[in-house]
Chain A
Amino acid sequence: MAGALSRPGLLYHMNIELLSQYLVAGLTYGTIYAIVAIGFNIIYNATGIINFAQGEFVMLGGMIAVSLHHIMPLPAAILAAVLMAMIIGALIEIIFIRWLVSPSVLRMIIITIGISIFIREAALHIWGESVRALPYFTGTEVTVISIGDVHISPQVLWVTGTSAVMVALLTFFFSYTLLGKQMRACAANRDAARLCGISTANMVTLSFVLSAGIGALAGCVVSPITYVQYDSGTGLAIKGFTVAILGGLGNSTAAIAAGLVLGILESFSVWVLPTAFKDVVSISILLLILFVRPSGIFGSVEASRLKEF
């Protein structure tokens, strides 16, 4: 019996080039997951809600950008797509979330799931079922930057670069701008923030806007590699949650590390397990973390207990 049983894979030695190649693959996936996780964390910090529709923002960013690219140059299309996604994020918050009065966790979960389904089906009927992608930002599908035997597509550098810039901007925003500090105040203690005159309702809307924006940008920058399709959002969302929880819900810096860790683990799992079960690896890691240390690898146990459910 040929095929699955003859696994020369386990016999050949893992050399440094192979290792590096897997590492690069892992970093690519990992950065994408981390960005989705940061999106979750922003909303979670401001509202205590996990937004199951986060993955759809990524999908929308890519889809809108591809459609706009037909009528405007690439950078403009991306910018416009991100702006439109931000507007959609704000609309979602205003229409569906804003006027709910202390909803239960279950209700919020179900509402955001409903929103995610709705966006996905709307995308199906607007854009059809085919996959779309933006053109590679630099080079084409075959250009690579080769370091020895390790090959990296320039787009991967765009993904990591853009993500790094986004993270830097967000950190600056939260630490040094008034608006950012107000959002952090809201996350720390909602009532106290309100007493200080901060409009918590607007902070919530802002958190959706930000999340949608970074999700959409990630969707644009990653679409040449992975393609977007009307249902690409769901899979990404699940990976994003995994990473967010791994790092500790609400902790965005940890999310980056957790994302990279998960991406690399998944990538290396291909070496030992049948690739059909790659996703099972990440979910098993999620379950393990949830059972053993739900506050995440880097989270603090007391802080996670403080968040009310």
Chain B
Amino acid sequence: MKVCKMFAVLLLACMIMATPALAKDTIKVGAILAVTGPAAFLGAPEAKTLEMMVEDINKKGGIKGKTIELIIKDSGASPEKALSFAKQLIEEDKVLAIIGPSTSGETMKIKSVAEEGKTILISCAAAEVIVNPVAKYVFKTPQMDRDAVIKIFQQMKFMKLTKAGVLSSNSGFGDAGKKQIEKLAPEYGIQIVANEVYDKAATDLTAEVTKVKASGAEAIINWSIEPAQAIVIKNARQLGFKGPIFQSHGFGNVKYAQAAGEAAEGVIFPAGRLLVADLLPSDHPQKAVLMQYKKDYETKYKEEASTFGGHAYDAMTILTKAIEKAGSTDKEAVRTAIENLKGIVGTGGVFSFSPQDHNGIDINAFSFEMLTVKKGKFAILETSAKHEEHIKPKK
């Protein structure tokens, strides 16, 4: 019996190994995204965006005559799967580049795999440590957390507020934001009077918000990328907190504003301009790209475009522009081309890379606009501290 078992397993293994190897003249691009699972609100729009773009590009004849073959792997936000898929994509599918993963935790795990496999990795995750220290093959498209924090602090100074109550979620995004807030607060003269971390799957945060309110905070900074952030907003308003509520750029999906309903009126947050593309002046450098993406995404998928999908859009745009610039699909050539890209208009900002800068956007590259919520829709904040007037940090 046991002998039969052994051979059964062996046989199965053999059958699985008989995977056909297709040889086509295509450009293979891999993507590791958290399409399902706890980070699905990130991965699902990212996957949809990539599929839409690739279909579009291929319809127009591909790049340099070759079609793009997109291989999306659903990691479910699980780092060990991300690792396994990364190795698969690099060694077996021999992809030119990998777009993703959606979360910082996964990206850090496969950073060394990409380096070892000499394959380009354009991450859709936000952690600074992905590109600092710079690894030859690893890039990222989301904006720097610290820039978002700086914009919030600038706004607070402009509104003459100094006491902040901080609530962050226990995810990688929340944690990274919290650290930046703690680090930069003294430079802008902001005092953190409360600092609470809540569970990203929490269902009611009245107790936490009560604590923050009781600490004398003049403004609440709520740093999270999960749906639970809307609960904080609701609870804060219900408890009678009158001060401004600042969100992070993780608020970048109008569904969150709708979920918080009336409570979201007047919330202030830095975000990529995708969310207010139609409100931009017509000569704004990003307007055309943003309007096109928004229109295409909303027509195809019947749901609002979000900044999360935008990160994937930027990754693919950068990749395709680099292939065109390099004139070949050799990994080294494309990699060098990315490093030399300048002025690429994306949803997150205008990207300009260099060998030392693998993120490509900083606070001056149109990365963030201060937005607010009016009647359930996003609008540009009227009274924001503009770039030119920004208050210099204390030294």
Binding site for B on A (CB under 8 A): 1-4, 6, 8-9, 12, 18, 21-22, 24-26, 28-29, 32, 124, 128-131, 133, 136, 140-142, 144, 146, 149, 151, 153, 222, 225-227, 229, 231-232, 235, 266-268, 270-271, 274-276, 278-279
Among B38, B181, B216, B261, which residue has its beta carbon within 8 angstroms of that of A141?
Answer: B261
Contacts of A226 in B (CB 8 A): 203-204, 231
Q: Does B355 contact A (CB under 8 A)?
A: no
Could you say which of A8, A136, A149, A235 contacts B194, with CB atoms under 8 Å apart? A8
Q: Give Cα A21–Cα B207 distance, bound, in whole angstroms.
A: 8
- A225 close to B203 (CB less than 8 A): yes
Q: Which residues of A contact B215 (CB under 8 A)?
A: 8-9, 12
**From A11, which residue of chain B is reached at the shortest CB distance?**
B215
* A2-B182, A2-B186 given; 10 more Cβ-contact pairs under 8 Å: A1-B182, A2-B192, A6-B195, A22-B207, A131-B255, A141-B260, A142-B263, A232-B203, A270-B196, A276-B198
Complex: A79 Cα to B70 Cα, angstroms? 45
- Measured CB to CB, the closest approach of chain B to A130, in angstroms, equals 6
Q: How many residues of B contact A (CB 8 A)?
A: 48
Residues on A with beta carbons closer than 8 Å to the beta carbon of B198 = 275-276, 278
Chain B residues near A130 (CB-CB < 8 A): 41, 227, 255
Smallest CB gap from B216: residue in A: A8
Report chain B residues within 8 Å CB of A275.
Answer: 196-199, 207-208, 211
Q: Are the C-beta atoms of A141 and B203 separated by less than 8 Å?
A: no
Q: A131-B227, A146-B240, A274-B197 are in contact. Are A28 and B206 (CB under 8 A)?
A: yes
On whether the beta carbons of B227 and A3 are closer than 8 Å, the reply is no
Residue B166 interfacial (CB < 8 Å): yes
Query: Is the beta-carbon distance between A3 and B178 smaller than 8 angstroms?
Result: yes
Q: With A3-B166, A131-B259, A227-B230 known to touch, is A18 a contact of B44 (CB < 8 Å)?
A: no
Question: 29 interchain pairs (CB within 8 A)?
Answer: A1-B182, A3-B178, A3-B181, A3-B192, A3-B195, A6-B193, A8-B216, A9-B215, A12-B215, A21-B206, A22-B207, A28-B204, A28-B206, A32-B203, A128-B44, A129-B41, A136-B261, A141-B238, A141-B260, A142-B263, A222-B203, A225-B234, A227-B230, A229-B227, A270-B196, A274-B197, A275-B211, A276-B197, A279-B199
B147 to chain A, nearest CB (A): 20
Chain A nearest CB from B261 CB (Å) reads: 4
Contacts A140-B261, A275-B198 given; indicate if A129 touches B206 (C-beta within 8 A).
no
* In the complex, residue of chain B having the shortest beta-carbon distance to the beta carbon of A267: B207
Interface string of B257-280 (1 = CB under 8 A from A): 001111110000000000000000
What B residues does A22 contact at CB under 8 A? 207, 210
B170 contacts the other chain (Cβ, under 8 Å)? yes
Residues of B within 8 A of A232 (CB): 201, 203
CB-based nearest A residue for B210: A21
Contact with A along B174-218 (1 / 0, CB 8 A): 000010011001100001111111110111101110110011100
Using known A-B contacts A2-B186, A275-B208, determine if residue A9 contacts B227 with beta carbons closer than 8 Å: no
Q: Is the CB of A25 within 8 A of B206?
A: yes
Nearest 6 A/B pairs, CB to CB: A129-B40, A226-B203, A141-B261, A25-B206, A270-B207, A3-B195
- Taking CB atoms, residues of chain B closer than 8 Å to A133 are 259
